[in-house]
Amino acid sequence: MRQQKPKNRTNSSNAQNRFQGNYLDDISCKFCANYRGKKKGCILPVCDFEGEKMDAIKHGRIKRKAGDAI
């Protein structure tokens, strides 16, 4: 019979993959549903994601690092 793994074992990979917020690259206009391309631009007068963009800037999440997963 094979030996069983202990039940109270923690998985260290879960601790590394915690969501810490969006980066500015994630909130780009090209991913927005209201963005119609370079020539037409956005159809909204004010960006809906302005709060998220300011939060990303405030917490220093400007550009992803090489080790950060999506």
CB 34 within 8 A of CB 43: yes
Per the prediction, the chain carries an average pLDDT of 81
| pLDDT over 70, % of the chain | 80
Mean pLDDT for the stretch of residues 19-43 = 87
Mean pLDDT for the stretch of residues 35-51 = 90
Integer Cα distance of 52 and 23 in angstroms: 9
Question: Would the pLDDT of 15 be above 70?
Answer: no
Opening angle at CA 23, ends 39 and 25, nearest 5: 30
Domain ranges across the chain: 16-58
Terminal Cα-to-Cα distance of the chain (whole angstroms): 41
DSSP code string of 17-41? T------TTTT-GGGSTTB--TTT-
pTM: 0.60
